[in-house]
Each structure stands twice: as structure tokens, then as C-alpha cells.
Amino acid sequence: MKTINSFIKLGTCKPQLAFSLTLLALAGCSVAPLPQLNPTVPEAWRSSRSYNEPPRPELTQWWQAFNDPELNALVSRALQKNLNVAEANERLRATRILSKHAQSPHLPTLGIKTHDAVSPDTSTSYFLIGFDAQWELPLFGAKQSADRLANGHKALVKADLQAVLVSLVAEVSSRWVELRAAQQLETTLSTIQKIQREKLELLLIREHLNLTSSSDIASARAELARSEMALTAPRQTINRTTQQLAVLVAQSEPEATWLQRGPQPKLGNWQLSSLPADLLRTRPEINSAEAQVLIAAGELGMSRADIYPHISLGTSLQWSLNIASNRKRTRTGDSILSAGPGISIPLFDWGQRVANAHAKDHQMQAAVLAYRQTVLQGVAEAEIALGNLELLRLHERSSLQALAESQKRLDALKRRASLGLLSELDMDNARIDKLQIQQQVANANAERSIAYIALYKALGGATLPTAPLKDAY
């Protein structure tokens, strides 16, 4: 309170100026300080390789790394039409409208009241009308704390919107990758089923010529039945993912184009190399925790301001009109004007207010600890996702090597078959082996794509809708 003490020594100041400066000093007094949020993050990712020029898609367009125009269009449609995004936008609009009036409770109020008054001897009757105006001054940090509360709630709702966007983009991308992977699996299993049927027909011919046993026929039939059973899983996935995509774009039914088989999204040789502090700033959970700290600081400031006396300025105007009189001489009307400051001092509940301020202080400290925990959890999730992505990259590379060796083996068997040194049954088995390894490559690619999506979801990567968000007023 050095400002007030230095002002009191200036005896030459006018009383009005002195009163105004005192109120300004009290208005900023006792504001709860904002804590320093300095989260501990590692200097670099442990699971990231070093690149001279690492390919890094933008956080707002990370799904374009798949180079899939259909996925890009689907994400854009979801951002524009998803109902959860629309709901979050409406909540943000409502919060923005209310935040503009954060200082409205500290504005002057005006009251009007009327009533009839009859004199005790019933000789006259007056009509009374009164105007009362009062302004409780936002002192002791109440004004700044109200702004913090409004800004904190607005930041919290914006973080909720960002969380919806991040989850939506990740969900659309994941369902699309699962859909294309299931369609690829269905194609491979259908081809295997066709080969198994041809193999059974060939064995039946050989059985008719007494060149094979009944056990070989039974084994071939069992393999054909298993291949037919295996088709159930990808078809269930196709049905589920298409319906989920329809919900994400606010449609009741999937589009027919989704059921048409297309190429599986491929990530390529993508790799991340950047500092956590540079990427985690967009994580909605961290933004939400930071908003909670701001809200807690605002509530602490309001509770501290509630400890001190409440000072107000007020004025009152009372006017009377004689409407009925049995006297010969009586006044027809009169008015009374009064104005002055008022003060409300907490006495008997002062201890409760102090306890409330102490409790709010602990709640703010809890919000700071929750923020730090959220940062640590975000770093851990990103590190885990990045590690999984690197491991699955190595897994995909190994599956590609296995596919290359399988192709070499199949080419060698084809040369032997052309020389009449190999039967068609052996060739069918080799083709099935190659198709199975080829499907393993497709599965590895899909798993790596899902890990890539999980990484950017952990980093809070998303984009705002193309249409700008505007307030309703």
C-alpha cells in the first residue's frame, strides 16, 4: 500500500482528487498474483531419430502426410458438419457473450419505488416516489479478479472446443485407415479363398485318378472353410467403420463411395524431430489446465476482496405529491435529495471469509499442481506414441523385406513349374504364402498409420473450421 501512504503526505491535493486516487489504489490492492507456470519438459524426444531436414507436416494439416485426397475431403467435411463441433462452438459463443459483461456486476444500479402514505390523523394522503442509485466500487482487486474469471472460463471453453476438434480429426483418420485396411484384407482373403477352391477342385480330380488320399481332400476342404470364415472379420469392420464415419460427418447412412475399394493410405518415410515445448503447446488438456489455474486465481482474488469492507457510493431522491387533503392549507408536494458514500464492514462472518480465502489459495495451488501433472502426462503420452511409431516403422520395414524374399521364392518356383519340375498344388501354396506376407505388410502399414494418428492426437494437432467463429452478438 505504498501508493496510499505517499499520497497522504501530499497535503496540497484537493479532497476530490485525494478520494479518487485512493479508490484507484484500493482497486488494484490485494490482487492475487498469478503463479509462474514453468513445466519441466525434456529437451528432445528420446524415441526420435536425427535428420538433417526432418519431414514434419504442420500441426493443423498433419493428416495430409497420407497424400490421400479422399481423407483430406472427409476431414474437411467433418470439421464443418460434425454435431459435437457445432455444440462446442455454441458453448464458446455463449461464453464469449458473457465474458463481455464481466464487469457488469460492478456497474451502478438504479431502483424506483412508489407507494401511498396516509398521515396519522387521516387528514392527508401522499403519493411517494423514490429513486435510489448505488454503485459498489470494485476495490481490493475485485475488478481484475472478475476479468481473470471471465478470461479463464473463455479459455476453458476454447480448450474444450480444441479437444473436440483433435478427437474428431483423429477419429476420422483412424476410421478411414481401418476401412481401407479392412477392404485390403477382404480382397486378399477373397483371393486366398479362390485359390483354396481351385486347389480343392484339383485335389478332387487327383482323387478321381487315385493320385491323392481322402485326408488331403478333407484338409483342403477345412482350409477353404477357414478362408470363408476369415472373411467375416473384415466385413464387420467395413460395416462398423462406414457407419462411424457417417456419424462423424452428421449423416444417417454411409456413402456408397466409401464401400468402393481404394488404395490404403501410406505414411511413407515420415519421422518427427522437434522439442516437446514447441509441439505440446497446442495440446488441449494443457490449455484446459492452464485455464483452470487462471480461474482459480480469479476466485482467490474475489475471496480476498470479500474480506475487506465493501465501499459504495449512493444517492436517493424522494418526492411526494399531496393527492387528498382535508386541511385548508397543506403543501402540495416536496422532494428530498441525499447522496454520500456507504461502507459495509464484515464483522461476525469475517473469520468465515478469511477461511474461504485460505481455501481458495490451496485450490489455486492444487490447480498449479494439476497443470504440471497434465504437462508430464502429455510428454509421456507423446513419447510413448513416438516410440510406438518408430518401432512400427521398423516392423513395416521388416515385413517389406519378408515380402521381397517371398517374391523371389515365388519367381524361382515359377521357373521350376515352367520346366515341369513343380506341380500346380505347390504353386498354389506358394501363392497363398506370398498373399499372407503381403497382408502382413498391409497390416504393418495400417498399424503404423494408426500410431502416427495417435502421436498427433497426443500432441493436440488439429485445425479450426474453415468458417470463422463469430459471436451471436
Q: What is the pLDDT of residue 30?
A: 56
Clarify whether residues 128 and 200 are in a common domain. Answer: no
* CATH code for position 131: 2.20.200
Q: What is the pLDDT of residue 440?
A: 92
Q: What is the pLDDT of residue 468?
A: 37
Q: What is the pLDDT of residue 167?
A: 92
Clarify whether residues 274 and 154 are in a common domain. Answer: yes
Clarify whether residues 130 and 156 are in a common domain. Answer: no
Clarify whether residues 275 and 329 are in a common domain. Answer: no
Give the Å distances, CA to CA, from 365 to 182, 304, 358.
49, 15, 11
Residues of the chain with pLDDT under 70: 1-32, 38-59, 115-126, 271-280, 322-333, 462-473
Amino acid at 298: G
Clarify whether residues 386 and 325 are in a common domain. Answer: no
Q: What is the pLDDT of residue 207?
A: 81
Evaluate whether 304 touches 141 at the Cβ level (below 8 Å).
yes
* CATH code for position 381: 1.20.1600.10
Last residue of a domain, one of 325, 344, 363: 344
Residue 349 lies in a domain: yes
Last residue of a domain, one of 295, 325, 344: 344
Give the Å distances, CA to CA, from 369 to 275, 306, 362, 366, 408.
23, 26, 11, 5, 59
Clarify whether residues 290 and 242 are in a common domain. Answer: yes
Q: What is the pLDDT of residue 278?
A: 59
Clarify whether residues 173 and 42 are in a common domain. Answer: yes
Residue 466 lies in a domain: no
Clarify whether residues 332 and 417 are in a common domain. Answer: no
Clarify whether residues 89 and 209 are in a common domain. Answer: yes
Residue 366 lies in a domain: yes
Q: What is the pLDDT of residue 417?
A: 83
Evaluate whether 372 touches 349 at the Cβ level (below 8 Å).
no
Number of domain units in the chain:
3
Clarify whether residues 93 and 196 are in a common domain. Answer: yes
- C-alpha span between 53 and 408 (Å, rounded): 35
Last residue of a domain, one of 327, 344, 361: 344
Residue-range definition of the domain harbouring residue 243: 31-103+138-309+345-458
Evaluate whether 308 touches 140 at the Cβ level (below 8 Å).
yes
Q: What is the pLDDT of residue 43?
A: 62
